[in-house]
Chains A and B, each alone.
Chain A
Amino acid sequence: MWHKSKKSTFLLVAILAFTMIMTACSGNEKNNGNQAGESASNEQSSQPAGEQPAKEVTLSYTIWDMIQQPAMEAIAKEFTEQHPNIKVKVEVIPWGDYWTKMSAAAPAGTLPDVFWMHGGQFIKYATGGFLEPITDKVQAGIIDLNNYASNLGSIYTLDGQNYGVPKDFDTIGLAYNKELFDQAGVPYPDDTWDYNKLAEVAKKLSHPDKGIYGFAAKLDTQVGYWNDMLANGGYILNEDMSKSGYDDPASIEALKFRYQMVLDKASPTHQQLTDTDSTEMFKSGKLAMIFEGSWRNVDIDSSEIIHGKWNWAPLPKGKVKRGNIINGLGNTMSAAGKNKQEAGLFLEFLGSKRAAEITAEMGAAIPAFKDTQAAWVKSKPDLNLQVFIDQASDAVPYPSGSKSYPVWFAKESEIMSQAWGGAISIEEGAKKVAEMMNQAIAETK
């Protein structure tokens, strides 16, 4: 009898303990989830930083660009020197998985303390209450959004609340391989070039039999045909973001022009560019020209094959103007973080001139902070990085900032790949994209 009851008691205790662990877990999760919905900004303003005893805190800072990791770590290190009790762990989740992970983390209440934000995703996270507003800091003048170039401070604002500190901006340039130009005796691209010149030279520099092509007329948006469409007088989304511009005749013409370069064998085929990334092809000297974003500068220059043999030029002019897309990234903090006060301090530092200088000097990205861009231009003196700064003034903002963006953007490449792969015509593809975009806009209203 004694024997038996002892065993059942043990069993009971074990089950109880197990249940408690289980419920504790789920209870926690619920709390975090609820917190996400409410704003807890008063907690911050009621406790000034100086009066709190310094507790040891490790913040998580999540980014998507491995190339910028050293610069972000340098910023974190300097922040820890100023605030010895706060350590920052920089984590990289590649772009391809970044938003998938974040969309799982948001409802679970496990978003990183501070993380990079993209204009296209911002609205979703802000309307859901997953981002901590920084309006108090902005109004108190701790963070001054006028410090940032090209109106970048306004990107991460929703319904009068501020959520993000501008980090950097990027524009698109034309990278060219000097060696391939020299061999053909063709002068390098400059600001007089238009699209016809691009196509003409691309054809001249192509030697498909040797696996060398003049230009990568690839399926891509921000570093691809969006620039072409704008230059040709087309558009991606109309002003109030209620209608797609893919079926605009000028947009279709620009898309066809790009695809023609594939047909003319002035560019690798879509299949080849699916197998090998065009920038990797450029890095190995197989492509004479590519469109690429300023963020790839360090990466391209790290290639031993092409180092010292390449440079940047502005994008060619189109029928109407020079097209370019400017996009600004921001730093945001989670509303469900456990150390929001410390995260707020780190956010302030990320928006500071010093952080911008570190970003610029290490060549990681063009900092958003005014008058720090020159340091970035000087980070690689032999490259004409000034083209990115010069093009910023005429550039069109990245067409995000609507709830429908994440939906149509993901579907866009799938439809266009059918056109680029030759399964449907360019016109058909563009019209399909327009239809899909308009539907996505209607559904997310």
Chain B
Amino acid sequence: MNSRSRNMWAYFMVAPTLIGTLVFWSWPAFYSIYLGFLKSENFGLVNHWVGFDNYQKLFKDEEFWQNLKNTLKYMVLFVPSTIVLSTFFAVLLNAKIKGQSAYRVIFFLPQVTMPAAAAMVWVVLFAQDYGLLNHVLGTRVSWLSDPRFAMYSVVLVGVWAAIGFNMLLILAGLQGIPKTLYEAAEIDGAVRFNKFRYITLPLLTPTLFFTTVVLMIGASQIFDSIYLLIGKTNVALPSVRSLVYAYYQNSFVYYDQNYGAVIVNILLFINLILTGLQFLFQKKWVVYD
């Protein structure tokens, strides 16, 4: 077989994934950019070109800036706590303890639970009158409808759901660290914390970098837990509404796909910049061997 036909086969093999990505990811992304310049009528069958009108409207919209702030706040709260807790539990579960697999299953459970079902359980736990949380704490806080607490409640559920999977990724990273390094450190008399600080952490940085990038993109697209936990008639909605939630509202509730499109286009732009910056600065802290 010559190289040309071998390439053909390679393309053929990746075609299902490639076509899927192009059709379901790339095409909608480009189409969203196009939609942002239009004013659509009649379910998008009639379109008028309006240039940057939608963007002008967006930048004048106070609600948009609040939503942007909420999204960034969620990212700032969610990403570091998930990384720290996932690493913490991964290191614990990497040690030889009794019932290790049982613990791994328990921590991974949220990942295999249906998010909608899990959210419904959280709604009950958070309930003001009969909720378990208020019962245990002896308080009467409305965790999900008080603007002061709602964001933290959403972050809590988000972190709870994210730990399992990220812990698994980090655990895989931990097990890739050669045992000989620890043995050498022990011979040199290193204590446990120093082993973590000077061996585990540096060699874990590639994994941590990957999880940070993925978590940040995921966090910026937060929607489902707000939709399920907060709901649309909640007085706290303005203080937790994310950009994607605003996109959903404008596109599918108010039927203004064009305004919805400019919101996600801004989000795409932000994510491109954030990811670009992370790749730029990774040299400073990520260790590849």
Which residues of A approach B to under 8 Å, CB–CB?
Answer: 4, 7-8, 11, 14-15, 18, 33, 37, 100, 103, 106-107, 127-128, 130, 211, 219, 270-272, 274-276, 406-407, 410-411, 413-414, 417-418, 420-423
Chain B residues with Cβ below 8 Å from A417 are 232-235, 237
| Shortest Cβ distance from residue B249 to the other chain A in the assembled complex, whole angstroms | 8
B276 within 8 A of A: no
Residues of B within 8 A of A (CB-CB), count: 34
Indicate if the CB atoms of A275 and B8 lie closer than 8 Å. no
User: CB of B127 within 8 A of chain A?
Assistant: yes
Interface of B is mostly: loop
Looking at A7, A418, A421, the one whose CB has the most chain B CB atoms below 10 A away is A421
Q: Find chain A residues with CB under 8 A from B8 CB.
A: 8, 11
Q: Which of A15, A107, A413 has a CB less than 8 Å from the CB of B44? A: A107
Q: Do residues A274 and B233 form an inter-chain contact, with CB atoms below 8 A? A: yes
20 contacts between A and B (CB under 8 A): A8-B5, A33-B45, A37-B45, A100-B252, A106-B43, A127-B42, A128-B43, A211-B129, A271-B145, A271-B235, A275-B128, A276-B127, A407-B254, A407-B255, A414-B232, A417-B235, A417-B237, A418-B235, A420-B235, A423-B238
Complex CA distance for A275 and B20, rounded to whole angstroms: 40
**Pick the contact of B237 from A11, A127, A414 — CB < 8 Å?**
A414
Contact of B254 among A18, A37, A130, A411 (CB under 8 A): A411
User: What 5 A-B pairs come out closest when comparing CB atoms?
Assistant: A421-B235, A107-B43, A271-B145, A271-B142, A417-B233
Question: Is A423 in contact with B147, judged by CB distance below 8 angstroms?
Answer: yes
List of B residues within 8 angstroms of A4 by Cβ? 1-2, 5
Query: Is B144 positioned at the interface, with any CB of A under 8 Å from its CB?
Result: yes
Report the nearest B residue to A440, measured CB to CB: B254
- What's the least CB distance linking B255 to chain A, in Å? 6
Query: B45 contacts A128, CB within 8 Å?
Result: yes
Q: Are B235 and A423 in contact (CB under 8 A)?
A: yes
B146 within 8 A of A: yes
With CB as the reference atom, state the residue of chain A lying closest to B23: A22
Complex Cα distance, B253 from A406, in Å, reads 8
Residues of B within 8 A of A106 (CB): 43
Do the beta carbons of A406 and B255 come within 8 Å of each other?
yes
Considering the chains assembled together, what is the distance between the CA atoms of A18 and B235 in angstroms? 51
Instruction: Report Cα–Cα, A106/B145, bound state, in Å.
Output: 35
Report Cα–Cα, A289/B44, bound state, in Å. Answer: 44
Give chain A residues whose Cβ lies under 8 Å from the Cβ of B15. 18
- Whether A275 contacts B144 in the complex (CB less than 8 A), given A407-B254, A411-B254, comes out as yes
A230 to chain B minimum Cβ distance, whole angstroms, is 22
Task: Determine the distance from Cα of A38 to Cα of B235 in the docked complex, in whole angstroms.
Answer: 44
CA–CA, A410 and B246, complex, Å: 13
Is B12 part of the binding interface, using a Cβ–Cβ cutoff of 8 Å?
Answer: yes
State in angstroms the CA–CA spacing of A100 and B254 once bound together. Answer: 10
Contact (Cβ within 8 A) B145 A274: yes
CB distance from A135 to the nearest CB of B (A): 21
Q: Are the C-beta atoms of A414 and B233 separated by less than 8 Å?
A: yes
The answer on a CB contact under 8 Å between B253 and A410 is yes
CA distance A407 to B252 in the complex (A): 11
Q: Contacts of B231 on A, CB cut-off 8 Å? A: 274
* CB proximity of A220 to chain B, nearest CB, Å: 9
**Cβ of A274: which chain B residues have Cβ within 8 Å of it?**
144-145, 231, 233-235
Contacts of B253 in A (CB 8 A): 100, 410
Set of chain A residues within 8 Å of B147, measured between Cβ atoms: 423
A359 CB to closest chain B CB, in angstroms?
A: 30
Interface digits, B124-158 against A, CB 8 Å rule (1 contact, 0 not)? 00011100000000000010111100000000000
Please measure, in the bound complex, the distance between the C-alpha atom of A304 and the C-alpha atom of B9, giving whole angstroms: 65
Mask, B78-100, CB within 8 Å of A = 1, is 00000000000000000000000
